Amino acid sequence: MASGRNSNDFVTKRRQFTTTSNATLTSTPSPLPTLPFDVFVEILCRLPVKLLTQLRCLCKSFNSLISDPKFAKKHLRLSTKRLHLIVGSKNYSGDLYLFDSPISSIFLTSRVTQTQISHPIPQSSLGVKSLGMFSCDGILCFTIDHASAFLWNPSIRKLNILPPLKNPLKKFLRTFFSFGYDHFIDNYKVVAISFLIDGKSNEIKIHTLGTGFWRKIHDCPYSFVRHSSGVFVSGTVNWLTYDASNSSPRAIVSLGLEKESYQKLSLPDLEMNFRTLRVLKDCLCTFAIVDMFMDVWVMKEYGNKDSWTKLYNVPYIRDKGFYAFPEMLYIYEDDQMLIDFLELKSFKLKLGMYNSKNGTLSISEIQNINGPMVPRVYVESLISPCS
């Protein structure tokens, strides 16, 4: 009797399970939870550019959101760690080659394999003169024969060829370009400084993206500006200045992009031999040669002379006696430095990793590049150069 009751109970429970399972399978599934729009935007703006460009093709709403300039700016603020090293190289025919790699990969191996990336500039328009290349918010600015420039975002493959300057060739010696962002008008400006034949005078013009023309601004009131591109930081473009009677830099000339006015900034120490200006950790940076070392100075508070701080003391690079003082491209959180330096034997730039904690240097062998190169660090962004 007990055995019979157990058997009947089993059959009853099996029928109940089968009925419940069938009901579950045939019932309408519960709808998935819907994320608030703000949360959805927060998720998307943390994705890499390559994935976002693919998502634009998924639906109209994705395309509309990702194409919004406000979304691009928010994405840029959260993309500061998505850095790339791009290396430009030109052969004697004027052909431009660009090679790219994530900056984090440089730490993983001493043999850096750069991927060649295509660019839309006709080789015939580049000429054979030296290559100028610098970046701002993921947009790269290249010079064309000291007469014009083009802006290109390699992350989204958008290009903007700027109009030529139309400077009389007999009047000007060379022209150098700089590129920065004007917060006041929420737009980018390209600054061209043209040096006259006398070597002491200069003329400065500005192109605001979207205007289609260059306009001349008032002359720089300071005596002499070094023949080089300016460095953009804190809404200003900065150059080292030199006295006509002295080859050593005396100060920094700054051009504010908002008011388009000049000011003069003091260097850390006028007795030092400063070489060039760079931007490190979002601060204006300069390098001084002292004996057999290079001091790295940063202005922690822009415009405040007392905020100049010496961060590092990097030794002269010796490898078979053919290497010179380095310059910084990037400083990592663990105080390792990505540097470039000139190999005097071949007169080519080299890349290396310097560990400031233990004083060791490893020279990175850059694959696929045999000619002269210009290395720069840029950040992934959705910012269009065609504003």
The pLDDT value recorded for residue 273 is 74
Burial class for 35, CB neighbours closer than 10 Å (0-12, 13-18, 19+): exposed
Percentage of residues of the chain with pLDDT beyond 70: 71
Q: What is the CA radius of gyration of the chain?
A: 28
User: What one-character DSSP code corresponds to residue 180?
Assistant: E
Q: What is the pLDDT of residues 213-235, one digit of tens each?
A: 999 998 887 766 666 788 999 99
Q: Residue 170 in contact with residue 157, Cβ under 8 Å? A: no
pLDDT of residue 233: 95
Give the pLDDT score at 243: 60
Looking at residue 29, its amino acid is P
Looking at residue 3, what is its pLDDT? 47
Looking at residue 70, its pLDDT comes to 93
Question: Residue 17's pLDDT is what?
Answer: 42
First and final CA of the chain: distance in angstroms?
Answer: 88
Q: What is the pLDDT of residue 383?
A: 94
Sign, Cα dihedral of 240, 243, 245, 249: negative
Phi, psi dihedrals of residue 51, rounded to the nearest 5°: -70, -40
Amino acid 190: pLDDT: 95
pLDDT of residue 225: 61
pLDDT score, position 108: 57
Instruction: Name residues whose C-beta falls within 8 Å of residue 68's C-beta, 6 or more positions apart in sequence.
Output: none
pTM: 0.81
Query: What percent of the chain is helix, strand and coil (3-state, nearest 5)?
Result: 20, 40, 40
- pLDDT of 11: 42
pLDDT for the residue numbered 138: 93
360-367 and 111-113 strand pairing:
parallel
| Domains in the chain: ranges and CATH | 35-78 (no CATH), 79-379 (2.120.10.80)
Name the DSSP class of 47: S
Residues of the chain short of pLDDT 50, as ranges, are 1-7, 10-26, 321-322
For tokens 């054979």, name the residue. 128
Q: Residue 133 has what pLDDT? A: 83
Give the whole-angstrom CA distance, residue 264 versus residue 252.
6
